[in-house]
Structure 1
């Protein structure tokens, strides 16, 4: 009698689990750090963490045992090889259940900020996905398994530059961007959304009204909500433009080109703001005046 073929997701979970065997920590409960924001968590006994709120969204991969996540009276269960995305600031109960080896273990990657080039969900996207159920389990694909495996290995490798590490994380997030169950990774604050918008084109002549229209709210609402987050349109505009100028200088551009990249018409204004923010002049050379 032929046995039923395993479900495609079961096969993919087994493949990912095998790819990440090298991340399994030595026996011992607690956190085992691999790199910044990348760690394994082990438990030797069944444990229930009640009403926890994560400070950052996470990507988690169950390596040994089983994880349950409870929202109210509804639970979701995840066997080894499962990939889950958990949101920040949402109270939930998490149950870690050791497997046959007597160990529960997961590989966890915190995502405190999105890498450059990865956009947060817009207000329109957030509204359009409000009806999506709160499912945390990620549907695996061959491409996602490769991206996750490469990202974990690269982030753990101290010899790799931060640029390469960010690139590998970006590859993972690009694949997750369209999955509704991964939306927690891309749900940013209003200040972060405004910063992304301005940072995507720092030379544009941004105004409060223009930005408010782009994110789908009124100008006064934008100011009020940014103030409630401890920020302001003016502060974000300056920060993003100076960041663009700083990146241009770091890439070898002249101070004149950096001022252009930062959207400053006045070269002296750019130099003054740059000194205020970074404590040094953008260049020893004089900036030529341009329109």
Structure 2
């Protein structure tokens, strides 16, 4: 695991545009309502991750958890030996097309051990991602799915779930946070009327403004975890003119302030 951590840190430090993310912290993070817009594979290389209310799912160092797309997931990241460190890879619907199809029910997550074969595949993917073009990387990413399947995790075929309407709207807004996504524009892109969009979102317990706010704040959370931008810049990038307003809304959604997230990543 140490070799993977070293290579991943080297690539991130070189500011490369990489097809994976690194989340690390030196203090515990307890983050509520984290949106998972695409199936998300998380390799816990150091520390411990707990998921769900009352920490229903616990993943120790040397394990992975594969999450289905979901509107809200509670996460707790717990350092061990002074650091929590995880590599995250998200997948698109088409990435699953080459896996065997079955009629088994959809599942919310898969949890497993990072065996030597999976460890080697992850290391090669991280190393390869720093030199290969993006149209080649997508094939290596799909190889990870196939390796998981042939390592006995056949439920990987059932981790991809058709997104809800709320998730589709969230993804649309997240694709360009600088664009003014009006209700009419969103409805047009989804081939429905504005009134139908509002009604269907209401049936899911959502509305456009709440989804817009979550989209912006989710991007802010990602930037806090993966970049060195100051909080004021992040607030601006997320469409907030006021850092205090950004902080207030961030705390309401995630249960931690942006400053608390940043402090958790600092070594005392």
TM-score by length of 2: 0.51
- Displacement after TM superposition at 1:183 (Å): 4.6
- Asked if structure 2 preserves the Cα contact closer than 8 Å seen for 1:66 and 1:77, the reply is yes
Distance 2:145 2:75 in 1: 24
1:107 to 71, 81, 87: 87
Determine the C-alpha separation between the residues in 2 that align with 1:119 and 1:228. Answer: 32
Deviation track 1:5-57 (CA, whole Å, cap 9, x = no partner) reads xxxxxxxxxxxx1441324549xxxx996534412112222111112221222
Q: What do the CA deviations read for 1:235-263 (whole angstroms, capped 9, x no partner)?
A: xxxxxxxxxxxxxxxxxxxxxxxxxxxxx
**Does the residue aligned with 1:20 lie in a helix, a strand or coil?**
helix
Find out whether 1:172 has 2:154 as its counterpart.
Answer: no
Q: Does 1:40 align with 2:22?
A: yes
What does residue 226 of structure 2 align with? none
How far apart, CA to CA, are the structure 2 residues paired with 1:180 and 1:90? Answer: 24
Structure number with higher relative contact order (C-alpha < 8 Å, ≥ 6 residues apart): 2
- 2:124 aligned with 1:143: no
1:228 Cα offset (Å): 11
SS class of match (1:173): helix
| Alpha carbons of structure 1 residues 168 and 231: separation in structure 2 relative to 1, 3 Å | farther
Aligned residue number for residue 51 of structure 2:
69
User: Paired residues, what number?
Assistant: 167
> How many angstroms does 1:110 deviate by?
1.9
List alignment gaps of at least 5 residues for structure 2.
165-186, 193-268
Change (3 A) 1:138 1:40: same
Q: Aligned partners of 1:46, 1:187: CA distance in 2, in Å?
A: 30
Determine if the alignment matches structure 1 residue 182 to structure 2 residue 156: yes
The separation in 1 between residues aligned to 2:191 and 2:158, in whole angstroms, is 22
Residue 58 (structure 1) aligned to one of 40, 45, 48: 40
Q: CA deviation at 1:94?
A: 0.5
- State the secondary structure of the residue aligned to 1:114: helix
Distance 1:47 1:164, change over 3 A: same
SS in 2 for 1:186: coil
* Partner residue of 2:105 out of 129, 132, 135: 129
Q: What SS class does the counterpart of residue 153 from structure 1 fall into? A: helix
Distance change (3 Å), C-alpha of 1:185 and 1:37: farther
Task: Give deviations 1:124-161, integer Å, cap 9, x for gaps.
Answer: 52xx235x6x5531244443232222112212x1x312
1:169-219 C-alpha deviation (Å, 9 max, x unpaired): 1211112347255356533459xxxxxxxxxxxxxxxxxxxxxxxxxxxxx
Residues 175 and 24 of structure 1, relative CA distance in 2, 3 Å threshold: closer
Gaps in structure 1 of 5+ consecutive residues: 1-16, 191-226, 233-291
SS of structure 1 residue aligned to 2:62: coil
Whether contact under 8 Å (1:85, 1:137) holds in the other structure is yes
Q: Any conservation in 1 of the 2:47–2:60 contact (CA below 8 Å)?
A: yes
| Distance of 2:124 and 2:59 partners within structure 1 | 22
Query: TM-score scaled by structure 1?
Result: 0.47
Instruction: Find the aligned partners of 2:118 and 2:29 in 1 and give their Cα distance.
Output: 30
